[in-house]
Amino acid sequence: MPLLTPAHLDRDFDYLVPPELDETARPGVRVRVRFAGRLVDGYLLSRHTGTDHPGKLVRLERVVSPERVLTPEILRLATTVAARYAGTRADVLRLAIPPRHARTENGEAARTGRRQPAGRAASATEAEAAAPVAVADSPGASVSELPDVPDGVEMSAWRRYRHGEAFITALTRRRGVRAAWQALPGENWARRLAELAAVVVAGGRSAVLMVPDQRDLDRVLAECEHLVGDSAVGLSAGLGPAARYRRWLAALRGTARVVVGTRAAVFAPVRELGLVAIWDDGDDTYAEPRAPYPHAREVAMLRAHDTGAAFIAAGYARTAEVQSVVENGWAHDLVADRAMVRAASARISAPGDSDMALERDPVARAVRIPGVAFAAARAALAAGEAVLVQVPRRGYVPALACGRCRTPARCRHCNGPLALPGAGSDGERDAPGPQSPTCRWCGRADAVFRCPVCGGRALRAVVIGAVRTAEELGRAFPGVPIRGSSGAEMLDTVPPGPQVVVATVGAEPLLDGGYGVGLLLDGWVLLSRADLRAAEDTLRRWLGAAALVKSEGRVIVMAEPALPTVQALVRWDPVGHAATELAQRTEVGFPPAVRMAAVDGTPDAIAEVLAAADLPDTVDVLGPVPLPGTERVPSAARSSAAETGEQIERVLLRAVRTDGQRLARALTTAQAIRSSHRSDSPLRVRIDPANI
Alpha-carbon gap, residue 275 to 210, rounded angstroms:
11
Alpha-carbon gap, residue 394 to 500, rounded angstroms:
16
DSSP string for 53-109:
--SPPPBP-EEEEEEE-S-HHHHHHHHHHHHHTT--HHHHHHHHSPPP-HHHHHHHH
Low-confidence ranges of the chain (pLDDT < 70): 1-5, 108-147, 352-368, 393-400, 404, 406, 421-435, 460-471, 487-488, 628-646
Phi, psi of 37 (to 5 degrees): 85, 5
Burial of 253 (C-beta count, 10 Å sphere; 0-12/13-18/19+):
middle
Contacts of 516 (CB under 8 A, 6+ apart): 380, 383, 385, 386, 387, 549, 550, 553, 554
Check if the beta carbon of residue 167 is closer than 8 Å to that of residue 335: no
- Report the pLDDT value the prediction gives residue 435, as an integer from 0 to 100: 65
| pTM assigned to the model | 0.84
Alpha-carbon gap, residue 136 to 212, rounded angstroms:
35
Element (H, E) at 313: strand 310-315
Tell me the three-class secondary structure of 9-40, residue by residue: HCCCCCCECCHHHCCCCCCCEEEEEEECCEEE
Check if the beta carbon of residue 481 is closer than 8 Å to that of residue 517: no
Alpha-carbon gap, residue 292 to 310, rounded angstroms:
25
Amino acid (one-letter) located at 418: L
What is the four-CA torsion angle of 239, 245, 251, 257, rounded to 10 degrees? Answer: -30
Amino acid (one-letter) located at 197: A
Alpha-carbon gap, residue 185 to 546, rounded angstroms:
8
Question: In sequence order, what E strands does 157-205 have?
Answer: 178-182
CB atoms within 10 A of CB 691: 14
> How many CA atoms lie within 13 Å of 181's alpha carbon, on the beta-carbon side?
30
Of 126, 128, 127, 148, which is closest to residue 136 (Cα–Cα)?
148
Alpha-carbon gap, residue 597 to 663, rounded angstroms:
8
Give, rounded to a whole angstrom, the gap between the first and last alpha carbons of the chain: 34
Of 414, 418, 415, which is closest to residue 460 (Cα–Cα)?
418
Q: 596 in helix, strand or coil?
A: strand
Burial of 310 (C-beta count, 10 Å sphere; 0-12/13-18/19+):
buried
Q: 239 in helix, strand or coil?
A: coil
Alpha-carbon gap, residue 230 to 474, rounded angstroms:
45
Q: How far is CA 182 from the centre of its chain?
A: 17
Contacts of 59 (CB under 8 A, 6+ apart): 15, 16, 17, 18
- Which long-range contacts (C-beta less than 8 Å, at least 24 apart) are formed by 485-494? 485/509, 486/394, 487/394, 487/427, 489/426, 490/215, 492/215, 492/218, 494/386
What is the four-CA torsion angle of 185, 299, 651, 684, rounded to 10 degrees? Answer: 120
Q: 510 in helix, strand or coil?
A: strand
Pairing state between β 38-43 and 332-334:
unpaired
Strand partners, 510: 493
Of 572, 506, 562, 517, which is closest to residue 317 (Cα–Cα)?
572
CB atoms within 10 A of CB 254: 18
Check if the beta carbon of residue 24 is closer than 8 Å to that of residue 64: no
Q: 277 in helix, strand or coil?
A: strand
Strand partners, 485: 503
Contacts of 554 (CB under 8 A, 6+ apart): 346, 347, 348, 349, 376, 380, 516, 517, 518
Cα–Cα distances in Å, from 72 out to 27, 29, 78, 87? 9, 12, 10, 19
- Report the pLDDT value the prediction gives residue 379, as an integer from 0 to 100: 92
What is the four-CA torsion angle of 152, 182, 509, 300, rounded to 10 degrees? Answer: 80
- Report the pLDDT value the prediction gives residue 141, as an integer from 0 to 100: 42
Contacts of 512 (CB under 8 A, 6+ apart): 493, 496
Would you give the DSSP letter of residue 194?
A: H
- Report the pLDDT value the prediction gives residue 111, as an integer from 0 to 100: 60
Contacts of 680 (CB under 8 A, 6+ apart): none
Give the chain's largest Cα–Cα span: 88
Alpha-carbon gap, residue 508 to 125, rounded angstroms:
48
